[in-house]
Amino acid sequence: MFIDPRSLIAFIVLFAIATLTGAQETSHPNTEILTAQQAIAELEQGNRRCVDGKSAHGHDAGRWRERFLVKQKPFAIVLGCSDSRVAPELLFDQGFGDLFVIRVAGNIVDDDVVGSIQYAVEHLDNKLIVVLGHQNCGAVTAALSSPDQARSEPQELSRLLDRIRLAIALVDREHESTQRLAEAVEANARASVKQLRNVPSIAKAIKEKGVEVVGAVYHIDSGKTTFLNE
Ligand SMILES: [Zn+2]
């Protein structure tokens, strides 16, 4: 069989381009349900790429939008803070369709947050729920201030701060301010983890479907995210 050398060269060039662009398109195949531990590994690898300045920037590829036009298949749920410096997709270097994200100041848990997480657990079959606190959280800082000061805020904001204040009640106020804030951020993330684990439908999913709820803290100075031990 005769093959035109020009066609062969064109084929090789096109194949090389497809391979190269494909490699940059995504860090994650997004075709199978990941276990909680596999999902943590994906997030850790993505965070490492971000810290090393080697982000794959999957979110830049327009083809991702077409792929998820009708259906989404995220591999992890992230409950994070609204803080503009703490975008989960960027700090975990993930693209469109990878993460189911709920963001609220101070990554607190309320009924609507629980409802959103329940949707992703029940209908998207997610196995991992990450509560992501972060260094220098303004909401936690405000909750550490005196209750009188916090009460001067609008009613709804004041209520949000009350939730955080409950979560950080055991933090030692005598500690130096930076350490105290870091301890409060961690305690606040752990409190949200505990609250979520106690939601009956999530407790059932933990027992029967292998769902895990874990806490993590993002460090703005280093870019690193640390998953919290039990
Ligand atoms: Zn925050």
Q: Could you identify the residue written with the tokens 């009924």?
A: 111
The alpha carbon of 137 and the centre of ligand 1 are apart by a number of angstroms equal to 4
> What per-residue confidence (pLDDT) applies to 57?
73
User: How far away, in angstroms, is 165 Cα from ligand 1 center?
Assistant: 14
Distance (Å) from CA 198 to ligand 1 centroid? 23
CB count in 10 Å sphere of residue 114: 17
Cα 14 to ligand 1 centroid, rounded to whole Å:
46
- Which residue, 114, 126, 119, 25, is CA-closest to 73? 126
Distance (Å) from CA 152 to ligand 1 centroid: 20
* Burial class, 169, CB count within 10 angstroms (exposed 0-12 / middle 13-18 / buried 19+): exposed
Burial profile 125-158: b = 16 or more Cβ within 10 angstroms, e = fewer: ebbbbbbbbbbbbebbbbbbeeeeebeeeeeeee
Task: Per residue of the chain (230 residues), give pLDDT as tens.
Answer: 445 555 555 544 444 443 444 434 444 555 678 999 999 999 999 999 999 999 987 666 677 777 778 889 999 999 999 999 999 999 999 988 999 999 999 999 999 999 999 999 999 999 999 999 999 999 999 999 877 777 788 999 999 999 999 999 999 988 999 999 999 999 999 999 999 999 999 999 999 999 999 999 999 999 999 999 98
Given the DSSP bridges, would you call strands 128-134 and 76-80 parallel, antiparallel or unpaired? Answer: parallel
Cα 186 to chain centroid distance, Å, stands at 15
Class of CATH domain 5-227: alpha beta
| Sequence-distant (≥ 6) Cβ neighbours of residue 114 within 8 angstroms | 196, 199, 202
CB 8 within 8 A of CB 183: no
Cα 7 to ligand 1 centroid, rounded to whole Å: 56
Q: CB neighbours (10 Å) of residue 188?
A: 29
Q: What is the pLDDT of residue 52?
A: 97
pLDDT of residue 6: 58
How many Å lie between the centroid of ligand 1 and the Cα of residue 132? 9
- Strands (E) across 2-151 are located at 76-80, 99-103, 128-134
Q: Specify which residues 131 forms β-bridges with.
A: 79, 215
Q: 111 C-alpha to center of ligand 1: Å? A: 19
CA–centroid distance, residue 77 to ligand 1 (Å): 18
Look at residue 126 in the predicted model and tell me its pLDDT.
97
Report pLDDT for 7. Answer: 53
Neighbours of ion ligand 1 (CB under 5 A): 81, 83, 137, 139
